[in-house]
Amino acid sequence: MRDHPHAGDTPHPDVWTGRATNRVQWLLALVGAACMALGIELAVESAWTSGIAPLVMSVVGCIAAGLLVLFGTLAFVHVDLRLDKESLEVRCGHIGVPRRRIPLSHVAGAEFAAYVTPRQWGGWGYRWRPEKGTAVVVRCGEGIVLRLWDGHTFTITVDNAESAVRVIRERLRTITPGPAR
């Protein structure tokens, strides 16, 4: 185990926060912006003589692909994790969407995962695999695996995951298990 700021017997803060960032996603966002720029360039500087339909399809296609890539990648440039005494909240990207809030009463346990990769989950982002559960993966590296009372798992890549697992385990000792009614 690595040494982290919250290691040992030091008391944990009321609200624990963590974050993971993937700078490679910014390159993909630039590709999306370039597709949009190409679409705009085609619309403005068009000298196509084959008709309006191919031009419109090219412009709309470039802009749509650019927006999809741009917003799809910016949504998963980073993940923020907020853990208070009652719940764990995961927010993705700059506007915090997608977002998931899990009450600690729904959590059966937490484990530290030393190395989580996008390859294990089929890519970056908010992922679901029937045999593995759900995950928010924004980069390779350490993460948290939550075992929920309903039998599902939820994995989050976040820096200082060992500390988060310790805080979660400590808080689980004081919470009544099972889903809220």
**pLDDT grade, residue 97 (50/70/90)?**
confident
In this prediction, residue 79 carries a pLDDT of 92
Nearest residue to 69 via CA among 22, 30, 104: 30
Percent of the chain at pLDDT exceeding 90:
44
DSSP state of 27: H
Nearest residue to 107 via CA among 144, 67, 80: 144
Q: What pLDDT digit, counting tens, does each position of 33-80 carry?
A: 888 888 888 888 877 677 788 788 888 888 888 888 888 777 788 899
Q: Are 162 and 113 in contact (CB under 8 A)?
A: no
In this prediction, residue 12 carries a pLDDT of 61
In this prediction, residue 7 carries a pLDDT of 47
What stretches of 19-173 show up as alpha helix (H) in DSSP? 24-44, 52-74, 118-121, 161-172
13: cis peptide before it, omega within 30°?
A: no
Return the number of other C-beta atoms located less than 10 Å from residue 39's C-beta: 20
In this prediction, residue 10 carries a pLDDT of 55
In this prediction, residue 180 carries a pLDDT of 52
Is residue 113 predicted with pLDDT exceeding 80?
yes
pTM given for the model? 0.74
In this prediction, residue 25 carries a pLDDT of 77
Distance CA(137)–CA(177), nearest Å, equals 27
Q: 24-44 and 52-74 helices cross at what angle (nearest 10)? A: 160
In this prediction, residue 3 carries a pLDDT of 44
Residues in the chain: 181
In this prediction, residue 166 carries a pLDDT of 94
Q: Are 100 and 87 in contact (CB under 8 A)?
A: no
Distance CA(165)–CA(180), nearest Å, equals 22
